[in-house]
Every structure is written in C-alpha cells, then in structure tokens.
Amino acid sequence: MPEQDPLQRRSNFNEVNLGFTEELAKMEALRCIQCPKPTCIEGCPVGVKINEFIALVAEGDFLGAADKMKEDNLLPAICGRVCPQEEQCEVKCVVGKKNEPVAIGRLERFVADYERETVGIRVPSLKTKTGKKVAIVGSGPAGLSCAGDLIQMGHDVTVFEALHELGGVLIYGIPEFRLPKSIVKEEIDSLSKLGVEFKTNEVIGLTDTVDELMQNDYDAVFIAVGAGLPYFLNIPGENLNGVYSSNEFLTRVNLMKAYRFPEFDTPVFNCKDKNVAVFGGGNTAMDTVRISKRLGAKNAYIIYRRSDVEMPARAEEIHHAKEEGIEFILLSNPLEFIGDEKGWLKSVKIQRMELGEPDSSGRRRPIPIPGSDYILPIDMAVISIGNGSNPIIQKTTPDLNYNKWGNILVDENTMKTSKKGVFAGGDIVTGGATVILAMGAGRKAAAAINDYLKSES
Ligand code: SF4
C-alpha cells in the first residue's frame, strides 16, 4: 500500500498508509482464488463474508462490496486500519501458503473509504421496533458493535460514554496517523443515523449505577468499559516529573490535542530535542514512541525486556517505527528512574537480559545478566506495559462475579454475567486485547441479548 515518506511523516500527524487506488484494489482482489471453503472467514472474529466482498471488488462493484462487508461489520474503515489481519483472516488465507496472502485488511479499508468518499456511509433499513431498551456502557469497539447489531434487531439502544468524545480507545488510545478521528466519527455517526442514542459525560458507577439503569426501564445492560487502568513498573523513581503512563500520554495527545498546546488547553511534556524512552513492546508502545518523535524528540527509544521475536506489536507498526528513526533497545529492563534535586527525570538505570526457557505465556523468559547495569540519560519516560480493569463498576456493582484482576466473569458463549439481564464483553472481560476481538465480543453479546429479550417477552 502506498504510504507517506518516513522522513516527511516524522513531523506530521497525517495518516501513514495512503490506501489502495481502484486499480490496485482490483488487482489485489483478483489474487483471491475464491476458495469453495474460505478458511479466511474462520479467522475473522466477526465473520465477515470475505470471499464474497472480495469477488465484488474484483468486479469493480465497490459499493456492493461495502454493503456485503457491512452485513457483518458496521465499522469497516476502523477495522481495515487497526485489526491485526496478519494474525486473523490473512494468516488463514490459502494463497498465503506459497505467496503473500490476499491483503484482506487493505481491501476492507479500501471499500469502506470508497463508500464514504463517493456517496457517504449508507445505513441499512431497520426492522420493526420491539419496544425493548438496552443500555450499553462504553462507546469503544465492543459497545459500538453491540449497538450496531441490536439496533438492527429492532431494539432501542442507548450508549453511555464516560468521556466527552465517543469512541473509547479508538479515540483516546490510537493516534491520528494510524486512525484519523474523522473516520471514527463518521462511522459512529452512521450508528446515530440508524437510531442509536449516545450520551457522553456519563460515568456509569458514578452518575448512575448498573442497578439504576435496570430500574430505569432498561431491559438489558451490556458492560463494555474496556481496560482503562494503567499498569506501572513499580520501581524507584516512577513518581518523578516526566514519567507518564501511555494511557495518560496518549489521552493528552490524542483526545485533548496536547500537541497543539496552547491552542488547546491540555499541555504535555515538551519532547523537542529531548531523549524519550518508552517501556513496552506492544502496539500502544509503538504509538507512543512514534508520537514522541513527531513531537520533536531527538532520540526516541523502545526499551523492551525480551527480543524483537517476542514483541507483541504488529510487524507493520514495528517496521513503521524503525523507518521513522525509533531506536530499539532490546533485552533490557529498567531498574530505577533517577531524577535531579527538583524532582525531574534525568536518567534510567537499565539491566541487560538474556532469554531462558519459555514461561506460561509461551514466550522465552527474560533473565537478568548480573553486573550488566548501565545508565541511560532520558528526559521523559512512558510506561506502556498494559492496562487493567477500572474498579468503578466493581465497587458499585459488587454482585457481579469478578476474577482477581477485577475482570468481569461471563459465560464465554453468551457473554452473560452472573446478574440477570446484565452482559459484559471486550477488555473488561478479557483484559487488554484487540479492537476486532472486542467487536466480536460485542456481536456475540448482541445475539445473546436478543435471545434473552425474546425469552423475557
Ligand atoms: S482464503 Fe484467501 S484465497 Fe481463499 S477465499 Fe479467502 S481470501 Fe480468497
């Protein structure tokens, strides 16, 4: 796929990937051999009819392809950009056994963009209303996909969002250069056109509890609040000025537009000509370090305790980060942040690691090398080692079942919780995962909520 030149994009927040042209899309679609049993669909958590939409692209019927896609996925422009297709549908593509698999994700993005840019996002016609009301807590990918399915099943749907903007992690967690906000907004607007009601600045657990929603005439509640509580390293010096969690850093930059301070009210650490270290190896770490480069960092490091083979980030994100000049310091673990007399971060003590036997995650365990410590001068550190569940729902809805990390326990087939009429899905159930897995959970919950509402009738 054509993309912005690395040197040029290092200084802007415009999208890196530029998308297929019509000709490239058709050529790529013609690589699909239209398998009688398309294994690619098995790899898609929301069951998009991949072979059918690709056949329409090959014929040049791009709007028909968009319609086919939206039978199973109402957020295709988002998924086409951020889903890890290389681990899902594309890894199952038959063509991939001998050659590059068909670029399913890029074709998905193409048809969604084609529709939006030519005729605007069209919404399907709706079934007769059932008179049932469902409250969805959280407007991230799980909540949005659940809302899209339930409204098409004829139910009234209200989505409650804690922040002032809709989209959850799609808005605050993923930077503009990977997922433009305008695209998220337009796909959410299409749900509004279908009749989904959205309420922002509503923190369920504070403004209303789950029980109050049920008492206020909602027939079912779907909890999809994500995983918004950042983990820290728990090492000395983590409270110094200049040490952030990725969650805070990304929220300041992505949601509050701190990169345009003082035009926007929220500031963020001034990275210009500074040394920035991001600790972690996932997509969030890549997003964070690439933002710091765009904010002018002189040296921007990824510091990760295993090797690049074990890195959980998408290969494409690692590749883009390297192209943009990010330096990878692998097999290295931070021991201590060191500050000056005024409490500002100045350096980090790093210990080198080597890989041992695989641990419970299946990845080789990092083992410290004694006497290998050294000091790396840095001005800003961002901890990007994952998120846990926010405790607000647990505190105010104690009669749900939770695991020891505060994730809600559900029946995996139906997403039903232990409380009648209450369902849950996405990161609040699984812990931090991918956008498409959260969407799959949202769709599964929508089907189960529909069955539940019918049975209650
Ligand atoms: S597995 Fe690959 S070749 Fe077969 S239908 Fe799916 S995309 Fe086409």
pLDDT mean across residues, the chain: 91
Residue 434 has pLDDT above 80, yes or no: no
pLDDT band at 185; cut points 50, 70, 90: very high
Distance 52 CA to ligand 1 centre (A): 10
Residue 10 has pLDDT above 90, yes or no: no
Residues ≥6 apart with Cβ < 8 Å to 153: 127, 130, 446, 450
What does each C-alpha distance from 219 to 135, 190, 443, 456 come to in angstroms? 8, 24, 18, 9
pLDDT band at 81; cut points 50, 70, 90: confident
Number of helices followed by number of strands (H, E) in the chain: 17, 16
Distance 33 CA to ligand 1 centre (A): 6
- Between CA 211 and CA 214, with CA 212 as vertex, the angle to 5 degrees is 65
User: Counting atoms of ligand 1 from 1, which one is nearest the CA of 101?
Assistant: 2
3-state class (DSSP) for residue 122: coil
pLDDT band at 321; cut points 50, 70, 90: very high
Ligand 1 pocket residue status of 355, Cβ below 6 Å: no
Residue 217 DSSP code:
T
Distance 94 CA to ligand 1 centre (A): 6
Beta strands in 22-65 (DSSP E): none
Q: Best substitution site from 98, 100, 102 to test ligand 1's pocket, by max atoms within 8 Å of Cβ?
A: 102
Q: At what angle do helices 62-70 and 50-59 cross, to 10 degrees?
A: 170
User: Counting atoms of ligand 1 from 1, which one is nearest the CA of 96?
Assistant: 2
Q: Which pLDDT score, from 0 to 100, does residue 5 have?
A: 87
pLDDT band at 47; cut points 50, 70, 90: confident
Closest residue (by CA) to atom 3 of ligand 1?
32
Q: Which pLDDT score, from 0 to 100, does residue 359 have?
A: 83
Asked whether the beta carbons of 103 and 1 are under 8 A apart, the reply is yes
Element containing residue 423 per DSSP (H, E): strand 422-424
Query: Residue 77 is which amino acid?
Result: A
Closest residue (by CA) to atom 1 of ligand 1?
93
Residue 391 has pLDDT above 90, yes or no: no
Beta strands in 262-385 (DSSP E): 275-279, 299-303, 327-329, 332-339, 345-358, 364-368, 374-377, 380-383
Ligand 1 pocket residue status of 107, Cβ below 6 Å: no
Residues ≥6 apart with Cβ < 8 Å to 306: 281, 330, 331, 353, 355, 363, 364, 366
Percent of the chain with pLDDT over 70: 100
Residue 254 DSSP code:
I
Distance of CA 220 to the CA centre of its chain: 25
More confidently predicted of 125 and 317 = 317
Residue 442 CB: number of other CB atoms within 10 A?
Answer: 31
Distance of CA 209 to the CA centre of its chain: 26
How far is it, in rounded angstroms, from Cα 247 to Cα 444?
A: 28
Mean pLDDT of 91-115: 94
pLDDT band at 63; cut points 50, 70, 90: very high
Q: Which pLDDT score, from 0 to 100, does residue 211 have?
A: 93
Q: Among 84-88, 180-184, 258-262, which range has the highest average pLDDT?
A: 180-184
- Between CA 377 and CA 384, with CA 383 as vertex, the angle to 5 degrees is 130
pLDDT band at 401; cut points 50, 70, 90: very high
Residue 14 has pLDDT above 90, yes or no: no
How far is it, in rounded angstroms, from Cα 296 to Cα 275?
A: 10
Residue 432 has pLDDT above 90, yes or no: no
Residue 314 has pLDDT above 80, yes or no: yes
Ligand 1 pocket residue status of 40, Cβ below 6 Å: yes
More confidently predicted of 219 and 176 = 219
Nearest to 177 by CA among 250, 107, 70: 250
Residues ≥6 apart with Cβ < 8 Å to 352: 331, 332, 368, 369, 372, 373, 374
Residue 427 has pLDDT above 80, yes or no: yes
Nearest to 436 by CA among 56, 144, 15: 144
What does each C-alpha distance from 226 to 173, 215, 220, 385, 389 come to in angstroms? 11, 24, 19, 16, 7
Distance 356 CA to ligand 1 centre (A): 38
3-state class (DSSP) for residue 165: coil
Least confident of 118-127, 372-381, 389-398: 118-127
Q: Best substitution site from 37, 39, 53 to test ligand 1's pocket, by max atoms within 8 Å of Cβ?
A: 39
Distance 54 CA to ligand 1 centre (A): 9
Query: Residue 211 is which amino acid?
Result: D
Q: Which pLDDT score, from 0 to 100, does residue 238 have?
A: 97
pLDDT band at 363; cut points 50, 70, 90: confident
Q: At what angle do helices 22-29 and 50-59 cross, to 10 degrees?
A: 130
The structure's pTM equals 0.84
Distance 118 CA to ligand 1 centre (A): 27
Mean pLDDT of 63-87: 87
Q: Which pLDDT score, from 0 to 100, does residue 333 have?
A: 96
Asked whether the beta carbons of 407 and 429 are under 8 A apart, the reply is yes
User: Counting atoms of ligand 1 from 1, which one is nearest the CA of 92?
Assistant: 1
Nearest to 156 by CA among 450, 431, 430, 411: 450
Mean pLDDT of 322-343: 96
**Residue recorded with tokens 């796909």:** 187
Query: pLDDT digits over 364-385, tens only?
Result: 889 999 999 999 999 999 999 9
Closest residue (by CA) to atom 2 of ligand 1?
93
411: left (phi over 0), alpha (psi -120 to 50) or beta: beta
Nearest to 123 by CA among 160, 74, 60: 74
Q: Which pLDDT score, from 0 to 100, does residue 41 have?
A: 93
Mean pLDDT of 416-438: 88
